[in-house]
Amino acid sequence: MALEICVKAAVGAPNVLGDCPFSQRALLTLEEKKISYNMHLINISDKPQWFLEISPEGKVPVVKFDDKWVADSDVIVGILEEKYPQPCLKTPPQFASVGPNIFGTFVTFLKSKDDNDGSEQALLNELKALDEHLKAHGPFIAGEKISAVDLALGPKLYHLEVALGHFKKWTVPESLTNVRNYMKSIFSRESFVKTRAAKEYVIAGWAPKVNA
């Protein structure tokens, strides 16, 4: 039986998959595990009443397991791993917290109006640490096989690439070859291509935050 999942619709295009990295993480997990699902696109700026009844905080993604709607991508991915153990996407504990600050430092840099506030350097430091890790353990965070930590980080790196490229004309430095190869290999996976938001919707999603 197909699982039901609610994810973000694109800004200004309610019938198109939107730019939520947490929604994409859940979809990627479903795709990688070959679990069939029905996707419901939720217009975040005009949430339907039925959706607010199953997700009172109005958050996406939410997935229905055994008649119960569950929110939070961390929890969803954990349940999927438990219920559908094959293929195993569990990240070995020692690698589970690689790159946790990349998204936060990216957002700070993206919204920064001051070139000298250190936000670019903070992001570079995080990406350099990831590069060193991949150099030692790659091609994926836990070695040869893709795992849950990659499916969480990949969508965030996609947002980083698209949003910083558009708003700051910024790209991951050439010197960080391991990170660049890592992004290429994740972004080209069939599961990723199928579940990513189009670039223009990623840009539309970030525009209000950047221009605030």
Q: Which residues are catalytic?
A: 20
Is 91:77 a contact under the CB 8 Å cutoff?
no
Helix residue spans in 33-70 (DSSP H): 49-54
Pairing of strands 68-71, 62-65: antiparallel
Buried b (16+ CB within 10 A) or exposed e, 156-174: bbbbbbbbbebbeebebee
Buried b (16+ CB within 10 A) or exposed e, 117-153: eebbebbbebbeebbebbeebbebbbeeebbbbbbbb
CA gyration radius for the chain? Answer: 17
Write the Ramachandran bin of 13: left for phi over 0, alpha for psi from -120 to 50, otherwise beta: beta
Task: Please give the structure tokens belonging to residue 3.
Answer: 């699982």
